Structure 1
Amino acid sequence: MRDLSKLPKAHLHLHFTGSMRVDTLRELAAGYGVRLPAALVDGDPLRLPPTERGWFRFQRLYDAARACVRSEADMRRIVDEAAQDDAAEGSGRLEIQVDPTSYAPFVGGITPAVEIVLDAARAASAAHGIEVAVVVAASRMRHPLDARTLARLAAQYAGSGAGEVVGFGLSNDERRGDTAEFAHAFRIARDAGLASVPHGGELLGPAHVHDVVRDLVPDRLGHGVRAAEDARVLDDLVGRGVALEVCPASNVSLGVYADDAHVPLRTLVDAGAQVALGADDPLLFGSRLVAQYEAARTVHGFDDAALADLARSSVRASRATAATRERLLAGVDAWLAHDPR
């Protein structure tokens, strides 16, 4: 079988804090005298129930990790290591998602926080041979006016290349907030040319997918797997060309599905959906990008031609520059043409 770490691909669903290496988290925590929950450093993927209690535990762990990021140097290190790790797995394009409000108190505000991440993305791109762009994300847990502020800030840095903002997202518990109240923020982002990339359709079902599509007009949908439960909703996504950022390890860890075999990857692909596999939060879910492709191969029975199609889909769903897109797609063809024997 061909080496999946050498399959050129784009990684479109990776959160800033959640991308951290466990060793990096341990080192930062020790430096700040923070005692970490064992679940963050024991090497075992989370297994939580798909309830508000389960999400609460996930959020507490995520917040514990985020509390160890307290300086510009910490932020730059996370971006650099995320790029290095992705490049080692064959990613030629990374669109890393960050909510700058979490780090603003340590660096002088949300504008410096964004500029630090963007500058680190440019440096990491040059250092590791991967094009790293940024998605600025608002949180459902905060007021929709906060989202508008972030959208206006993101718009100032809109672009498609390394160290530029390519999209605007909405994350956190899908059960919180009124989706329609975030529509104004997404209009601001779209008017600036940013991709609309909200989360939806993981913790909640097809009705939530419908609401997100109606109110936020996504180019890509973070997760979206629950659309498989309603053929009409799934057909609508396919017809609109909305790409799905499918993160199997996340779905299993958060209790949406009992195991990898129940993730409806095959259903989505067979319906014609444009799927980009993602790792979401490797720090908590214990699984990086290549592992998602490995699951597609070993659990869902995707042969190398189908895996190449998944990689192509990720590249086409990205906001990569034309040169990067062309290079990665040519690389996928070369990977498939290579005889591994």
Structure 2
Amino acid sequence: MTGQPAQPRRSTRDLPKAHLHLHFTGSMRIETLRELARERGLRLPEALLADWPPQLSAADERGWFRFQRLYDAARACVRGEDDLRRLVREAAEDDAAEGSRWLELQVDPTSYAQPVGGITPALEIILDEARSASDDTGTGVGVVVAASRIRHPLDARTLARLAARHAGDRPGEVVGFGLSNDERRGSTPEFAKAFEIARDAGLASVPHSGELLGPAAVSQTLDSLGPDRLGHGVRSAESDVVLDRVVDAGVALEVCPASNVALGVYPGLEDVPLRRLVDAGATVALGADDPLLFGSRLVDQYDAARDELGFDDAGLADLARSSVRASRAPEDVQRGALEDIDAWAR
């Protein structure tokens, strides 16, 4: 007697979702980077040419330096208003093609300020294009302004005040304030005032923590920055006490499996403790982090959850729901996305 035919797998591309961890330069299409480099006569490292995606590691300072060098080479190709607008629009188009209903794009405007006259016009250009791209693609784009751990905490306060002036929860507005770069650098508590400024303006607190450093760093971030979400936070899984703190506080974790593996945090996708985090009750939103350097986008993270970590369609739908609920998307966007996730799961 023949068995029942296998049911076709639901497409993760068709699964509605929110994307909460995507960096501005790191969102760039590799083809766009190469085109911009040619136009400007800039020579890219071979790791961004024939050897792409690059072999990376951040297990030590030398590995992080190589990662940062590639990132800086890509960022050097982004010059002026047209380039800023192009990156925002292409990020929105790529997310829309992958079922993302809401994207929170993280940017430090300091990195793009000089050609356009300062951090204020840089941010305003990005916000203006985010509004336009949202209308055209149907994927809402909010912006997270991120300070860098390797700059002075006073610079972070300046960025927090700028972000606060553009705070809101609609496409083309600033929805959160972050802290990025090598978490082994700088002192987390010294950035507390910047996050206080951002919180007072109603912005989500979304610092990076718990990827390159372990549970102690997560605890310090919880104590000093009052996060709503943690960029990564995956190493909370190494401590029952810290993971319980994360869950009890309702802090969402922006987990980026391909990034974790590429940077040497875990040896393989099957080792990323996504299941442990979910089973403990953590709110998890999958993110792509830097597709330009890691060679994988948002749908790839859902496919990894299915193929490497054993999540069935119901589990994938729950991850998508968590991403929407952890977002700063407007209520109507969240409601529509959640209804469509239910339809996908049925």
- 1:85, 1:45 → 2: CA distance? 21
Following superposition, which runs of at least 4 residues in structure 1 exceed 6 angstroms of deviation? none
- How far apart are the structure 2 equivalents of 1:75 and 1:49? 28
Aligned: 1:288 with 2:285: no
Tell me, in whole angstroms, the C-alpha distance in 1 between the residues paired with 2:318 and 2:302: 11
**Deviation of 1:49 (Å):** 4.6
Counterparts of 1:1-40 in structure 2, within 5 Å, are 1-40=9-48
Contact 2:259-2:289 at 8 Å conserved across structures: yes
Q: For residues 118-197 of structure 1, what are the structure 2 equivalents within 5 Å?
A: 118-197=127-206
Tell me how far apart the structure 2 counterparts of residues 125 and 43 of structure 1 sit (CA, whole Å): 30
**What SS does the corresponding residue of 1:212 show, helix, strand or coil?**
helix
Kept after mapping to 1: 8 A contact 2:56/2:66: no
Measure how far apart 1:40 and its partner are. Answer: 1.8
| 2:52 counterpart of 1:43 | yes
Q: Does 1:326 align with 2:335?
A: yes
Question: Residues 271-323 of structure 1: CA distance to partner in whole angstroms, max 9, x if unpaired?
Answer: 00000000000000000000000000000110000000000000000000000
CA contact (8 A) 1:47 1:252 kept: no
Q: TM-score, normalised by structure 2?
A: 0.97
**Equivalent-residue separation in structure 2 for 1:4 and 1:56 (angstroms):** 34
Q: Residue 38 of structure 1: CA displacement?
A: 1.3
Partner deviation per Cα, 1:125-177 (whole Å, 9 max, x = no partner): 01111100000000001000000000000000000010000000000000110
Partner residue of 2:109 out of 100, 109, 132: 100
Change over 3 Å in CA distance of 1:226–1:164 after alignment to 2:
same
Quote the Cα distance in structure 1 between the aligned partners of 2:12 and 2:52: 23
Work out the CA distance in 2 between the residues paired with 1:45 and 1:256.
16
Distance 1:44 1:83 in 2: 22
**Equivalent pairs: percent with the same residue?**
72
Determine helix, strand or coil for the equivalent of 1:177: coil
Question: How does the TM-score come out when normalised to structure 1?
Answer: 0.98
Across the two proteins, how many residue pairs are aligned to each other?
337
SS of residue matched to 1:327:
helix
Amino acid corresponding to residue 237 of structure 1 in structure 2: V
In 1, distance between residues paired with 2:251 and 2:53?
33
Aligned residue type for 2:176: G
Deviation at residue 45 of structure 1 after TM alignment: 4.5
Q: Does 1:202 align with 2:201?
A: no
Partner of 1:78: 87
Distance 2:64 2:223 in 1: 25
* In structure 2, C-alpha distance between the alignment counterparts of 1:162 and 1:307, rounded to whole Å: 26
Q: Distance in 1 between matches of 2:23 and 2:196?
A: 23
What SS is found at the alignment partner of 1:169? strand
**1:46 touches 1:284 (CA, 8 Å); kept in 2?**
no
Please report how far the alpha carbon of residue 47 of structure 1 lies from its aligned counterpart in structure 2 after TM superposition.
2.9
| 2:281 is the counterpart of 1:272 | yes
User: 1:48, CA displacement in angstroms?
Assistant: 1.6
Q: Identify unmatched segments of 5+ residues in structure 1.
A: none
Report whether the alignment pairs 1:232 with 2:280. no
Shift of 1:39: 1.0
Deviation at 1:44, TM superposition (A): 2.5
